[in-house]
Copies of this chain bind each other. A is one copy, B any other.
Amino acid sequence: MMISSGSGCKDRIQYLKWTLTIFAPNKALFKLQEQNIVRNRKVTMPMTQQRATARAHPNIAFVKYWGNRNHALRLPSSPSLSMNLAGLHAETTVTWADELDEDIFTLNDQRMTGESLSRVSRHLDALRARLGIAKFAAVESHNNFPTGAGIASSAAAFAALTLAGTAAAGVSLDERELSAIARLGSGSAARSIPSGFVQWHAADQHEQSYAESIAPPDHWALVDVIAVVSQSHKAVGSTEGHRSAETSDLQGARVAGAAERLAICRQAILERDFTSLAEVVEHDSNLMHAVMMTSRPPLFYWQPASLLIMEKVRQWRAEGLRVCYTLDAGANVHCICVKDDADAVTQALGRLSEVQEVRTAGVGGGAVIIEHSLPT
């Protein structure tokens, strides 16, 4: 990877400094890495090739993450709660290799460059710093769901990358630390490390802001029926969006109430109380979009079709279906329902001309290692 000039290089060094503040014990090694990146010279430490493959699911938040108290470390403004999405996953193989003189990233067999590669490389920097590695890596990732199908892929991607990168280095970190490290790559990736229903803690310290499971996948048979209304790429990506949250006069009030909403949502899940769940999930989604559309400049992620589906979902629930909606930073509508009502919801969505496609996912497990090559 050529990082030789301008702001890209400055950003990279800034990020290294941030990770350095977290992983201070590896300062010396980190310094080496920093020099290596700046000068683009091959590191000659004698290490052999190591490889591992991990799999992680995307997740859908019931209580949302929007806005950071620290953008560089992706320390969120408020706690959040999600469910992992079974059947959908990213599978990522990391190979730390002496012979590489830059990081390589392929996504669905396509060699990636530019910002996609840079973001992966920055996360590898964090792993190098934490694990004491002074090698570049080859990262191969596959998603079994299309990009732009209404499912944020970065959570699954960075959770799998974190676990694979760690395992490939022959290091076993506990779930808590894996979650915190995954967070550095993409905030919501913290929630794709633990299994089932997951709570992510907000905190001022890297180590304190991790996610943990509050209930396993089989605790409650919920289904996310995703109404895809737009395949187009978001005009404003999440990372930039998180920065915009603080420009809304309403973000403070949203954040102030988050812990209470999370407690209500958590209780609703633990008690399998769909009525309470539906109310808090829709309310929290509305709050996030209220912040988005009152940011400066305003962000309207939802589209006319999204609004129509939201209205239909409220109507279907009034008619007896156990379904509620939630929207991420995109136009597609996640219809969370109990499994018994998932077919009815899927069919009802299919009858709407505005819906391009419907996908369903049950409650998924945590990130797992699926292949681990011993050092050669």
Contact = CB atoms under 8 A, between A and B. Distances in A.
A305 B308 CA distance: 9
A253 B298 CA distance: 16
A305 B294 CA distance: 20
Nearest to A296: B283
Contacts of A302: 307
A283 B254 contact: no
B307 A286 contact: no
Interface of A: 249-250, 252-254, 256-257, 282-283, 286-287, 289-291, 293-294, 296, 298, 300, 302-305, 307-308, 310-311
Nearest to A257: B249
Contact of A287 (B250, B257, B282, B283): B250
Which one of A253, A282, A294, A307 has the highest number of Cβ atoms from chain B below 10 Å of its Cβ? A294
Contact of A253 (B252, B305, B310): B252
A307 to B, nearest CB: 5
Nearest to A304: B304
19 contacts: A249-B253, A249-B254, A249-B256, A249-B257, A249-B287, A250-B253, A250-B290, A252-B253, A282-B298, A283-B294, A286-B298, A287-B294, A290-B293, A300-B311, A303-B307, A303-B311, A304-B305, A304-B308, A307-B307
A252 B257 CA distance: 13
A229 to B, nearest CB: 11
Nearest to A288: B294
A286 B282 contact: no
Nearest to A309: B304
Contacts of A256: 249
Contacts of A250: 250, 253-254, 287, 290
Given A253-B250, A307-B302, A290 B283 contact: no
Given A250-B254, A252-B253, A253-B252, A293 B304 contact: no
B298 A294 contact: no
A256 B248 CA distance: 13
Contacts of A307: 300, 302-304, 307
A301 to B, nearest CB: 11
Contacts of A249: 253-254, 256-257, 287
A204 to B, nearest CB: 23
Contacts of A253: 249-250, 252-253
A277 to B, nearest CB: 15
A237 to B, nearest CB: 19
Given A253-B250, A253-B252, A294 B286 contact: yes
A311 B286 CA distance: 19
A113 to B, nearest CB: 31
Contacts of A289: 293
